[in-house]
Structure 1
């Protein structure tokens, strides 16, 4: 249960394992600061719950949410099935008041009268700003890594999430022209493009199985222009495989559509 290697990669990074570069170190420190203040707020809420104007239902939900957040790190079978990052962001909706309580509790400990009215706001703004930078992946941008789709037209997330017009045009043409009994093969995020148009009979595991199959092969922008295939879902460019590795899948197939951004083979 406590084997770190069994945890989700994001949960491993919570222990400082697998961090890459200064951006991820800053992100880790920022998340820890938030957790520390949430923990302080949680303790304050439990100790002085009668002084807070919270309904008992919220207090119970907060307690459950706090321990769920801990379990996603401690228990590998939870963090693998439902990632730490996703759980944390959803639980913040409930745990946000605990963060505020934690900030106020820290200020009361120091009891600096001159800063009493300003310090809580400054502390909260500093931590919240760092969290905003982490969640928008601005920290990666500062250190020269084009990870965020907000600031870049390149990078891993842009390659898998951005839908090009030529991809949709090709998918529409295929939907109009295909034979209903033939499956449509593609890589993982190629399947998302096809599903956007309500196309069914999709096989997005053909590159993972790496075996020939009768039917169409739909290649999206990333496959055609950059020559990379995404055989399975992942969180980094390490999952990409050169399309030349799968040249045998195109033997005895002909290209029937090409708009220089997407191709269809059969």
Structure 2
């Protein structure tokens, strides 16, 4: 509908754009005509979106979802214009066409549609699923991070299984990022003075390596000779 709306304005620019030398009346659904500058921004925004879709490699440097969220501020009004224009051809009420698109759109954006079909995608709607396991911070994880911050040796480095564990140490334990590292596990490398494991590592037996979910059991050899000094059920801390 956004595309239809933009094309409608371009096609009927004499009626819908405020040009000083043209005094043609505006359509009834417009309160005022668009400024030329606004039309220019619209065309630029539309061009950027088309370029992102036509040339996917551009999204490597700047994700298309980020671009879409920015240009939507400018293009949202054309969604309504597109609905009004399309309704004239389909002989339907404009609000019906708009709602038929908006309702499914918001259901997917809020992950309600996934929930209906049994996919626990949203952390706000579930106490399970990949997002929950990685992002939800349990009280026991927070306590473990704080305990480690208070009882670890000064300036010692702490190994974690993945980035989610590192973020817990930084946010909950207030441990400086330079005292944490998450590259030893993926390489089966030498671990640092302490090892911090969180819910996903301990309970779910999972860790994320280069964006791929792996089993912690594949890294069991790395704990040989390491002493467990803290265990809260959801979190564990080892000393090398």
Pick the TM interval, shorter chain: 0.7 to 0.9
Residue 217 of structure 2 is matched in structure 1 by 244
The counterpart of 2:41, out of the listed 39, 48, 61, is 61
Aligned residue runs from structure 1 range 1-266, under 5 A:
37-50=1-14, 51-52=16-17, 53-110=33-90, 112=91, 115=92, 119-186=93-160, 187-197=162-172, 198-200=174-176, 201-232=179-210, 234=211, 239-266=212-239
Alignment RMSD, CA only?
1.9
Question: Per-residue CA shift, 1:122-174, capped at 9, x if unaligned?
Answer: 11112100101111122222222221223211111111121111111111111
Corresponding residue SS for 1:144: coil
Aligned length: 219
Gaps (5+ residues) in structure 1? 1-36
- 8 Å Cα contact 1:136-1:150 kept in structure 2: no
SS at match of 2:209: coil
Indicate conservation of the 8 Å contact 2:87/2:97, yes or no: no
* Counterpart Cα distance in 2 of 1:155 and 1:98: 37
- Which whole-Å CA distance do the structure 1 matches of 2:42 and 2:232 have between them? 53
Alpha-carbon distance between aligned partners in 2 of 1:87 and 1:39, rounded to the nearest angstrom: 16
Distance 1:206 1:93, change over 3 A: farther
TM-score by length of 2: 0.83
Give the structure with the larger helix fraction.
1
- Quick check: which has more Rg, 1 or 2? 2
The worse-fitting range, judged by mean Cα deviation, of 84-93 and 97-106 is 84-93
Q: Secondary structure at the match of 2:76?
A: helix
**Hey, which bits of structure 1, 4+ residues long, moved more than 6 A?**
none
